[in-house]
A = this chain, B = another copy of it.
Amino acid sequence: MDEQARQLALLMENMLYAFGAAGVDGECCENISHGEFRALHTARHRNNCNMQDIARKAAVTKSGATRIVHRLEDKGLVRRVEDPKDGRSCCVTLTEEGKSLLKRIEDQLTNKMQTILAAMDPAMREVLIIALGAFLQAAQGPAGNMDRRTEGEEAKGEQAQFI
């Protein structure tokens, strides 16, 4: 199993390269950074998304989140609406333009995946999805708590939800 771990680490590294630095960032994005993409994604798929949510999901500090959201606002992709429940908090929501941009990016990513999947054996495809799901599940456990601390405050238990 030691060998498996070594192999997996290597695979992971290459994965990261193929779809991280060179992939998502490099290709899809029409003028938005990866952090901005993460923020957009979070704001879209979480309801009542506030700054902390964004900070957590984009793996930046809360001031980082402020900057990111500010940039997205400047680009007309999101809007800040005051939380009626809590005057300090604010919900970040996507504008129509933001939604359509995010959709474009997600579609592009999906397309890429589809092309790759097409080159694989159908049985292997199915297995891949399942195995990857199980892996992320396992990564959520004690070993996988990869939250980055936000200024001062210790990372609060609230687990990042994969899937």
Contacts and interface: CB of A to CB of B under 8 A. Distances in A.
Contacts of A32: none
Q: Is the interface of A mostly helix, strand, loop or mixed?
A: helix
A142 interface: yes
Interface string A129-163: 11111111011011110111000000000001011
Contacts of A59: 17, 21-22, 25-26
Contacts of A17: 38, 57, 59, 160
Interface stretch (A75-83, A84-92, A93-101, A108-116): A108-116
For A57, A133, A135, A143, the residue with the greatest tally of chain B CB atoms inside 10 Å of its CB is A135
A138 B120 contact: yes
